[in-house]
Structure 1
Amino acid sequence: MIPFVDLKSQYLSIKDEIDTAILKVLESTQFVLGKEVAAFEEEFAAYCDTDSGIAVNTGTSALHLALLAAGIGPGDEVITVSFTFVATAAAICYTGATPVFVDIDPVSYTIDVTQIEKAITERTKAILPVHLYGQPADMEPIMEIAQRYGLVVIEDAAQAHGAEYKGRRIGSIGDIGCFSFYPGKNLGAYGEGGIVVTNNPEYARTIRMLRDWGQERKYHHVLKGYNYRMDGIQGAILRVKLRYLDQWTEARRSHAARYDELLAESGVKTPVVMPYSHHVYHVYAVRNSQRDVLQQKLNEQGVQTGIHYPIPVHLQQAYADLGYKPGDFPYSELAANEVLSLPMYAELSPEQLKIVSAAVVRASDV
């Protein structure tokens, strides 16, 4: 079986460095925040070309605190997409605000920028584009609209570590950028983790307090905050892995190019890289109108796959109260019915790429 993700292979390739980093934290006993987390914050912010990084316990927490720092609260609206992981909408709801969905561009799968302006109301306070699968949203028109209407832009970059838009690092373009370090991400922790990056010192100060019970210093609670702190061990692990991120990204991009070649004559539609995009392929998602049959046939041939995502948020039972119905966002719904993610990680071998692709060619004739 060729696994969809192979975290063990990655760990074994850097085992000595990881084990040493973990032992260092154990010996220091700085298990929550601490020097390793602080160092990682600086290094990741520099990687993103931003002034500040504030490490938290999950990518969802990063989104939640970014929204709060931007002043989003009850009665406000935030424009985003439905074709995303549910955390995007959940974080908006945590603040008491309402997610307002628009459809995706059918080629890039990111927010259709031509739909944003018509969704703006007097209650709109922010735009939250999602850089899906490692491909950036079209940020230039988003920033132009935000500037015209006085809106905050918060980038959901949970799947886009190292991605670039017209030469600029994702996370540095909007007012705030939010990343996840869930284990399967391009830069993954060995547990949960997230970070907020920003060039706005006031946002950084607020988020830093909010993640640690609203404290400006110990026992001096300026805000009603949360326990969203990153563990010291995760900070140490991420410092090691950050040094390999560009190398792993280039491997992913190389694998994607090979998939493109091998699947050119298959019955699936391969990803399209937008002209403004440096795609980092968190996911290599193909499309087929008989996706479920294709997935079953691949599984029978020993190829694991994933679906990102089978039900758009606006059709999820938990979000029925938002009042959306089938047909409201046709491109999101069609993508949800057709996308299938193939194995994608730096450690894939040339032979595995051939095996997966051959299986897809056989199985896609459905």
Structure 2
Amino acid sequence: MDVMEEASRREALGQEIIHMEIGQPGARAPAAVINAAQEALANGYFGYTEARGIKALRDRVSRHYRETYGVDVPESRIIVTTGSSAGFNLAFLGAFDPGDRIALTSPGYPAYRNILKALGLEPVEISVGPETRWALTPDLLERSHAEKPLAGVLIASPGNPTGTMMRPDALKALCESAQELGIRFISDEIYHGLVYEGETATALRYCDDAIVINSFSKYYCMTGWRVGWMIVPEALVRPIERIAQSLYICAPDISQRAGIAAFDATEELEIVKAGYARNRALLLDRLPKVGFQELLPVDGAFYVYAGVRSFTNDSSDFTRRMLAEAGVATTPGADFDHDRGNGYLRFSFAGSHKDMIAAMDRLTAWLK
């Protein structure tokens, strides 16, 4: 956010900035979504919905899991949320007690630990690296649990900032390990749909009592609509429903109605995804030529997490200089990994292909 603020300040002064710091699609919401919203607006009335979301949307999410993953999820276990952010708050409040310890991977999305701390829970960051393909393993989980018991574990696949995805067998092994240890499993699946290599699997295939969180923000290009969903065990439905009623009543009515249409916009969304794939190929080709020799596996999402040790030991300063001198905005790794983040930065390739080419040209000139 600091990088984006500085980039905006520079743009206001006339500098042309290429944005690769923001983790959101550059494309607008699909036409079907906009049409559904316009139709709803024409009817002229929006109100509170059930805290769990309108049944038509819950039914459509249930159908999505059946068609996409071959998993039967009753609509009664689906809760529509105000984006995935609300899903994390609800999951943490509904599944844990103050002081509980929740395992996270490092590098990882910083909001996880921030939300946990704000709610009186203890984030336990477990470092992962190339030896485990940047994924949490049963051994690492068991070792941490043995040191001091864990109440939960949260994984993201594909992940932010890396874009790296757990293979189905690795996800299965981790789910089974968590179940054996009595650790609640939470799976962040908001980048599902944006996978370029490998097979996508939902944690629900291996752990029926997992909490799964997803969103319309990434694949469906609906960040500003603030609507997502979570799937929870039956025992948590009522507690989470009551918490949701107290915290925000319901997700936006218009966004829920539009969200139903998003599932039928696959053709348009796959065109957007093809654009990401083209950008991904460009960055994976050109970044090493510029000098970024360490690139983590980019299986999905729209990020490249790149090592900068050949240039600097301070990625935050490197990011500031890149912005000021090359006009390219990226995110320093310190946000995602307190211990090793100074050696990395994150490029988002969710923008236009023209911008990605221009960014690589600028970096080439800047790093000569």
The interval holding the TM-score normalised by the smaller chain is 0.7 to 0.9
Alignment of 1:66-77 (within 5 A): 66-70=91-95, 72-77=96-101
**Separation in 2 of the partners of 1:127 and 1:294?**
31
Q: 1:9 to 1:83 in 2, by over 3 A?
A: closer
Asked whether 1:288 is paired with 2:308, we answer yes
What's the CA shift for 1:73? 0.9
Aligned residues: 322
Structure 1 portions without partners, runs of 5+: 214-225, 313-330
Contact 2:305 2:346 in 1 (8 A): yes
Which has the larger share of helix?
2
Could you tell me which residue of structure 1 aligns to residue 358 of structure 2? 355
1:21 counterpart residue number: 36
Say if 1:46 and 1:96 are closer, same or farther in 2 by CA, change over 3 A: farther
Q: What is the deviation of 1:206?
A: 4.2
Matches of residues 76-225 of structure 1 in structure 2 within 5 Å? 76-93=100-117, 96-106=120-130, 108-111=133-136, 113-121=138-146, 123-131=149-157, 132-133=159-160, 134-137=163-166, 138-160=170-192, 162-163=194-195, 167-170=199-202, 172-173=204-205, 174=207, 175-181=210-216, 187-198=221-232, 200-213=233-246
Deviation at 1:284, TM superposition (A): 2.5
Letter in 1 for 2:211: I
Counterpart CA distance in 2 for 1:166 and 1:17 is: 29
Task: Report Cα offsets for 1:118-143 as digits up to 9, x if no partner.
Answer: 11156422211233224334423321
Instruction: In structure 2, give the amino acid aligned to 1:98.
Output: E
Once the two structures are TM-superposed, the CA of residue 194 in structure 1 deviates from its matched residue by: 3.1
Which of 343, 347, 353 pairs up with 1:342?
A: 347
Task: Report the alpha carbon displacement of residue 110 of structure 1 after superposing the two structures with TM.
Answer: 4.2
The change in CA–CA distance for 1:272 and 1:100 in structure 2 (over 3 A counts) is closer
Does the 8 A contact of 2:155 with 2:186 survive in 1? Answer: yes
CA offsets 1:279-313 (integer angstroms, 9 cap, x no match): 32232232212233365235533333233x4245x
Q: Deviations over 1:210-246 (max 9, x none)?
A: 3224xxxxxxxxxxxx325210122234344442444
Cα displacement string for residues 147-200 of structure 1 (whole angstroms, at most 9, x for unaligned residues): 321222111334455559963434535511113455x776433243332124x3
Q: Distance in 1 between matches of 2:106 and 2:138?
A: 14
Does structure 1 residue 234 correspond to structure 2 residue 255? yes
For structure 2, list consecutive stretches of 5 or more residues without a partner in the other structure.
1-16
Assess, with a 3 A threshold, how the Cα gap between structure 1 residues 98 and 353 changes in structure 2: closer, same or farther.
closer
Distance (whole Å) between structure 1 residues aligned to residue 119 and residue 331 of structure 2:
31
Distance, in Å, in 2 between the alignment partners of 1:207 and 1:165 is: 35
The alpha-carbon deviation at position 332 of structure 1 amounts to: 5.4
Classify the secondary structure of the residue corresponding to 1:30: coil
Q: Distance in 2 between matches of 1:270 and 1:188?
A: 32
Instruction: Tell me if the contact between 2:196 and 2:277 (Cα under 8 Å) persists in the aligned partners.
Output: no
In the TM superposition, residue 9 of structure 1 has moved relative to its aligned partner by 5.8
Alpha-carbon deviations, 1:48-84, whole Å to 9, x = none? Answer: 44514311113232123223443x2134322223533
Helix, strand or coil for the counterpart of 1:265? helix
State which drifts further: 86-95 or 148-157: 86-95
In 1, the alpha carbon distance for the partners of 2:24 and 2:151 equals 39
Return the alpha-carbon distance in structure 2 between the equivalents of residues 99 and 6 of structure 1: 23
Indicate conservation of the 8 Å contact 2:27/2:272, yes or no: no
> Any conservation in 2 of the 1:190–1:234 contact (CA below 8 Å)?
no
Q: TM-score, normalised by structure 2?
A: 0.72
Higher relative CO (CA 8 A, sep ≥ 6), structure 1 or 2?
2
CA RMSD, 1 decimal: 3.6
